[in-house]
Amino acid sequence: MRLETRKRLTYLVWGLTAFGAFGLWSRNTPQRGAIPGIVDAPRHLLGPALDGRVTAVFVRPGDIVRTGDALLQLATDVVDAEINVERGIYEEFLAEADAVAAEAQEAVREQRRSLVTELARARAALAAARGDEAASRAEIGSLREQLQRLDSVVRDGLAEADRVAELRARQAALTEASRHAPEVQQAWSGLASQVDTALAQISDEVVAAKVRPVRARLETQAARIAGLLEVRSRATLRAPVDGQITQVFRASGDAARAGEPVVQMVGTTGARVVAYAPEEAARAFKPGAAIVARPKERGHEIHGVVRAVGSEVVEMPVHLWQFPDRPRFGRPVYIDVPAQAEAPLLIGEALSVAMQAGAGGAVAAVPPADAPPLLPVPDSLRARTRFEGSGLLYLPEWSRFLVVSDDTGPASADESPPWVFTLDPAKGLDPDPVPLIGLETVSDLESVTRGADGSVYLLASQSLSQKGRRPKKRQLLIRATVKAEPRALEVVEAVPLYETLSASLGPEQLEALGFTALLDIEGMTAYGEDLLIGLKAPADSAGQARLHRLKLAGGPKKLAGLTLEPYRTVPLPTCRAQAPGGVSDLFLADGDLYLTSTLPEGPPCGSAWRLSLSSPSTTPVKLGDFEGFKPEGIAREPSGRVIVLFDTGDAPPRLATLATHQP
C-alpha cells in the first residue's frame, strides 16, 4: 500500500473516531441551561412496632411486594396467652351477666306474682265490703218496715215489747256498720290502686339496671381484648406501599427491637424527579414553573411542574457525578410529573432538566394547590355555634347545601342542640341553623346522604368522647324528611347505631368490622336501597380504609332491623407523604365513588379520590392533595361541579371546587 494511501486511511479513522466522540458527547450533554436530575422514589426502612423474636421472614432482596403484604413475623405466643386469659375473663363476665339477668328476671317475676296476688286479695276484699254494705242497707230497710208494723201491734198488746227492742238494736248496729262502710271500701280501693301502680312500674328497666354494671365490665373487657389484638397485629410487619425489597437485616430466630430497621424497600409507585441546580440557576426554578426533562438513555420528553426548591445546597447522588472522585453539589429542585404510561420512569434514571421552551418561567397549567377559599360565616351564626363542617348534601327543595357539623352549641357551653346548617357556595353559610324536629340533642354528626326513599340520613361518628364514653347522642343514625317552609328536617326514626349492632353481633364480629375503641365513622352515602359507610378508623391490618354496607329494613321502619356487612377495603395513601388515610366523607354518582381521606393521626392534610365500583379489583384514582387542610365533606351540585368542605377547627371554614379528572 502506498504511503499516501495509508495516511489517508489514518486520517479517515481519526476523523470517524472524533465524529463518534462528538456524537457521544452531544448525546450525553444536556441542552443549554439544563441541570442534572434523577428519578427518585420513596425509600422505606421498616421496623416492627414492638420488641420481639423473629419467627418468619417472608421476603428476600429483589422480591416485588404489594401494599399490605406480610414481610416479617414476630413471635406472638405471649400476647396470644394474654388474649386467651382476657377472653376467658370476658366469658366469665358474660356468664355473670346472664346469671344476673336471669336472677333479676326471676325476682321481677316473683315480685309480679306477689303483687298480682295482693291486688287480687285487695280487689276481693273491696268487693266483699261493697257486698256487705249492700246487704246491710237491704236489711236495714227490711227492719224499718217490720218496726213500723210492730209499733201498732205493741200498742194494741198483740206483740211483745222485747221483740221490738231486739229489732231496734239490730237496726242500730247495722246503721253504725253502714256508716263506716265507705271508709273500709276506700281503704281497700286505695290498697288496690297502690298495688296496681307498683305492678305497672315493674318493667325490663329493673333487669337492665341490675345487668348494667356487668355490661360495663364486659365493654371494658372487650376494649382490652381489642387492644391486645391490635398489639398482635403489630407483630406482623407489612409493606406500606407497592415496592421492591432491597435489604433484609434479620433472619428467623433473631431478636428485633421496636423501631429498629429490619427490612429496606423502595417504592415502585409515587416516583418523583429531583434535579440539582447551581446557585446561580436555582432562582429560575420557581414553584409552579413548567419544566421538561429528557432521560439520557431515551429520546422522549417528560413534562412536569416544580413543586418546591430546597433551602440549602446538598451533595448530589453519586450517579450524577461526572468524575467518581469529585462530588457535585446543587440546590434540590423537587418536580411533580404525571404517570408515564408508554415509557414509565425508571428508578435511578438520570435526567436532563430544563425550563420548558417558550414558557418564560410562567406558572404551569396545573399549579400547586393553594389554600382553599374561605367560607363566609355570618357573625350572628358564629355567636350561636361552634361550626366545624363535617359533611354536606345538596337539597333541591332548599336550593342549598345541607351541612352537618361536629359541634352545634356555643363555644362557651357543652350544649348540643339538634341543628344542621345550610350554605350557598357563592354566598357562604346562612345566618340561621335548621332544626332537627323530634330530637332533643345530637353530637358529632359526621355525614349526611339522601336515600332511595327520599329520606335524609344523618350519622354521628360513633367514636368515644374525650372522657372515654360513647353516649347515645354520638351514636345516632337518623332518618328525616325535608320540610320546605320553614326549612326543617323532621325526624322519622333515630337509633343508636353502635348499641343496635352490638345487641346482635358478638365481640369478634364487631372487632372484625372495626367496631372497637378506635371506631370513627365519617363517611356515608346511599347505595341502592341501603347505605354505604366509610370508616376513618380503624384501618384493617394492611392499613387500608374500610367500607361497609349497612342494610336497611323494608317497610316504613327502615332502621328497625339494621345489619352490617363488609363491602371492601381501599388503599388511600394520603397527602404527599402517602401515609395510610381513612375515609372522611364520600358520595356515589354514576357508578363512581368519590371520597376524601385524612390522617387519623398526624398533621392536618388530606386527599380526594375517585373509585370505580365496576370491579372489586379497581384502585382509587387520586384527584388531589390538600397539604395543611383537612377535607371533611364532599358533594356534587346539580351542575355536576364537585365541592369539598374543609374542617379548620376554630379557624374560619374553607370550601373549594374539585377537578374530578386528572389533568
**379-658 domain in CATH 1.10.287?**
no
Assigned C-alpha cell, 524? 356515608
- The pLDDT of residue 31 is 54
Residues in the chain: 663
- Mean pLDDT, the chain, rounded, equals 81
Assigned C-alpha cell, 186? 276506700
Which residues make up the CATH 1.10.287 domain(s) of the chain? 79-228
| Rounded distance between C-alpha atoms, residue 434 and residue 95, angstroms | 47
Amino acid letter, residue 263: V
The residue with greater pLDDT, 616 or 196, is 616
Other beta carbons within 10 Å of 565: 10
- The pLDDT of residue 617 is 75
- The pLDDT of residue 383 is 84
Q: Looking at the structure, give the CATH architecture of the domain made up of residues 79-228.
A: Orthogonal Bundle (1.10)
Contact 391, 448 (CB under 8 A): yes
Report CA Rg, the chain: 41
The residue with greater pLDDT, 42 or 411, is 42
Q: Quick one: average pLDDT of 59-67?
A: 88
For the chain, report the end-to-end CA distance as a whole number of angstroms: 67
Amino acid letter, residue 592: D
Residue 458 pLDDT level (bands cut at 50, 70, 90): very high
Assigned C-alpha cell, 264? 429496606
Q: What percent of the chain has pLDDT over 70?
A: 77
Q: Does position 649 have pLDDT exceeding 70, yes or no?
A: yes
Other beta carbons within 10 Å of 501: 21
The residues facing 580 across adjacent strands are 573
Range among 170-179, 443-452, 617-626 rated most confident: 443-452
Residue 222 pLDDT level (bands cut at 50, 70, 90): confident
Q: Quick one: average pLDDT of 250-274?
A: 85
The residue with greater pLDDT, 606 or 368, is 606
- The pLDDT of residue 659 is 76
Q: Does position 120 have pLDDT exceeding 80, yes or no?
A: no
pLDDT tens digit sequence for 549-585: 999 998 889 999 899 999 999 999 988 778 889 999 9
CA distances from 133 to 92, 127, 176, 433, 661 (A): 61, 10, 11, 67, 93
Closest CA to 606 of 593, 597, 618: 597
Interhelix angle 204-233/77-155, rounded to 10 degrees, is 180
pLDDT tens digit sequence for 285-329: 887 778 888 887 766 788 888 878 887 888 988 888 888 888 989
- The pLDDT of residue 532 is 97
Q: Does position 25 have pLDDT exceeding 50, yes or no?
A: no
Topology of domain 31-74+238-365, CATH: OB fold (Dihydrolipoamide Acetyltransferase, E2P) (2.40.50)
Other beta carbons within 10 Å of 244: 17
- The pLDDT of residue 634 is 96
Which residues make up the CATH 2.40.50.100 domain(s) of the chain? 31-74+238-365
Which residues make up the CATH 2.115.10 domain(s) of the chain? 379-658
pLDDT tens digit sequence for 410-420: 766 667 899 99
Handedness of CA 356, 359, 363, 366 (dihedral sign): negative
Q: Does position 54 have pLDDT exceeding 90, yes or no?
A: yes
pLDDT tens digit sequence for 136-180: 677 667 766 666 666 666 555 545 566 667 766 766 666 666 665
Q: Does position 272 have pLDDT exceeding 70, yes or no?
A: yes
> 652: cis peptide before it, omega within 30°?
no
Amino acid letter, residue 404: V
Residue 343 pLDDT level (bands cut at 50, 70, 90): low
